[in-house]
């Protein structure tokens, strides 16, 4: 093993993953010869394997991700240099990816066991204990149990604010999850209030032009757009402008903001704005080295998402050629 090469590859992969280039990050680690997980592997490299498995999942390689994550979680449980809570974190990723792969019953069972493992007062309020509880709530929400997710997230947010601080990344993610499932449970006004709070907190702790703040503004504008599309289009237009100042042209947050703007612009009859933003979004995504990750909120790997398909279908008939070209290009590039 070339340790210097591997160290450089890990740094590169982390930077790629931070910008949602998951498939590229996986490729970089694979080419660097990352050792397979085992109980004797250095703890830092076990953690890298856990990240590798997670990135595989988000680039659509679900079975490979499960294989890596399961082996890593098992190795962490046996390794002497890994804290028990770190091993539980790896098991939480196994549970989540199990659900992504379609085995809802197994994922639910695994999350229930993890919740029991961190249920004692001392463990439940550690950063990892809080994280596992948040992931369990996310899983409830993704399986259509939004109200059950809210039952977990509402008190959990207050606990995180006390034990981690209101500006901690995990607290902000919990608030984001709470806003998301509040909206999907049918409470639009409360969701808007929560997203406004999230925008304010991220702007205060991360900065007004931080990517996560910009993404919170996107979610806020999207929720508003379900009742007031015209106002949301104005907000999205400003958001796209701000994203262009600080993000790469193929960054997922910018591409997604363009797609959302196109959707709402078309809804209010601004077809030209919709066409322009759609064209730029898809062109920039397809020009990237990892279009599947760039479009990950709309579908992963070899299928363009139904949301993207629906938006494309709703454009004027004169754009039928563009629709065919774009959908074919996404499938072609993503399978390559």
The span from the CA of 16 to the CA of 133, in Å, is: 27
Residues 201 and 178 sit within 8 Å (Cβ to Cβ): no
Radius of gyration of the chain (CA): 21
Q: Distance of CA 223 to CAs 152, 159, 190, Å?
A: 22, 26, 10
Angle at 307 between CA 306 and CA 308, to 5 degrees: 90
pLDDT band at 309 (very low <50, low <70, confident <90, very high): low
The span from the CA of 151 to the CA of 134, in Å, is: 11
Task: Report the pLDDT averaged over residues 122-126.
Answer: 78
Look up residue 257 and give its two tokens.
């903001």
Residues 88 and 52 sit within 8 Å (Cβ to Cβ): no
pLDDT at 326: 52
pLDDT at 123: 76
pLDDT band at 51 (very low <50, low <70, confident <90, very high): very high
Is 314 a residue whose pLDDT tops 70?
A: no
Q: Distance of CA 325 to CAs 47, 136, 289, 317, 319, Å?
A: 41, 40, 19, 14, 10
The span from the CA of 295 to the CA of 26, in Å, is: 17
Is 336 a residue whose pLDDT tops 80?
A: no
Q: pLDDT tens across 183-210, in order?
A: 999 999 999 999 999 999 999 999 999 9
Reduce the secondary structure of 235-284 to three states and give it as a string. Answer: HHHHHHHHHHHHCCCCCHHHHHHHHHHHHHHHHCCCHHHHHHHHHHHHHH
pLDDT at 312: 53
pLDDT at 316: 47
Average model confidence (pLDDT) for the chain? 83
Q: Give the HSE-up count for residue 170: Cα atoms under 13 Å, Cβ half-sphere.
A: 21
Give Cα 204 distance to the centre of its chain.
Answer: 22
pLDDT band at 114 (very low <50, low <70, confident <90, very high): confident
DSSP, res 318 = G
Q: Return all residues near 280 (Cβ < 8 A) that are at least 6 apart.
A: 258
Query: Of 152, 151, 162, 154, nearest to 127 (Cα)?
Result: 162
Q: What is the DSSP code string of 89-120? A: HHHHHHHHHHHHTT-HHHHHHHHHHHHHHT-S
* Residues present in the chain in total: 336
pLDDT at 190: 97
Q: Which residue has the tokens 């900065």?
A: 207
User: Is the CA virtual torsion 258, 260, 263, 264 positive or negative?
Assistant: negative
Q: Give the HSE-up count for residue 56: Cα atoms under 13 Å, Cβ half-sphere.
A: 23
The span from the CA of 298 to the CA of 305, in Å, is: 5
């Amino acid at each position: 093993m070339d340790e210097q090469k591997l160290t450089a590859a890990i740094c590169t992969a982390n930077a790629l993953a931070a910008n949602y280039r998951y498939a590229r990050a996986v490729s970089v680690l694979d080419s660097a010869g990352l050792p397979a997980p085992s109980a004797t592997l250095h703890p830092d490299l076990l953690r890298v394997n856990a990240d590798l498995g997670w990135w595989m999942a988000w680039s659509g390689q679900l079975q490979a991700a499960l294989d890596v994550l399961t082996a890593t979680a098992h190795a962490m449980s046996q390794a002497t240099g890994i804290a028990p809570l770190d091993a539980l974190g790896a098991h939480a990723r196994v549970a989540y990816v199990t659900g992504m792969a379609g085995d809802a019953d197994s994922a639910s069972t695994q999350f229930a066991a993890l919740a029991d493992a961190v249920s004692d007062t001392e463990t439940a309020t550690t950063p990892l204990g809080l994280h596992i509880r948040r992931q369990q709530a996310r899983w409830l929400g993704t399986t259509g149990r939004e109200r059950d997710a809210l039952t977990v997230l509402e008190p959990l947010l207050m606990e995180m604010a006390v034990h981690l601080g209101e500006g901690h990344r995990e607290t902000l993610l919990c608030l984001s999850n709470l806003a998301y499932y509040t909206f999907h449970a049918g409470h639009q006004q409360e969701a808007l209030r929560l997203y406004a709070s999230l925008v304010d907190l991220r702007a205060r702790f991360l900065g007004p032009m931080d990517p996560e703040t910009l993404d919170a503004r996107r979610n806020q504008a999207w929720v508003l757009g379900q009742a007031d599309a015209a106002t949301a289009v104005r907000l999205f237009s400003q958001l796209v402008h701000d994203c262009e100042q600080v993000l790469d042209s193929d960054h997922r947050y910018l591409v997604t903001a363009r797609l959302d703007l196109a959707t709402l612009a078309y809804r209010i009859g601004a077809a030209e704005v919709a066409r322009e933003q759609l064209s730029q979004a898809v062109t920039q995504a397809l020009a990237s080295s990892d279009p599947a990750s760039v479009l990950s909120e709309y579908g992963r790997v070899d299928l363009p998402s139904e949301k993207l398909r629906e938006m494309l279908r709703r454009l004027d008939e004169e754009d039928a050629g563009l629709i065919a070209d774009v959908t074919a290009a996404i499938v072609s590039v993503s399978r390559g």
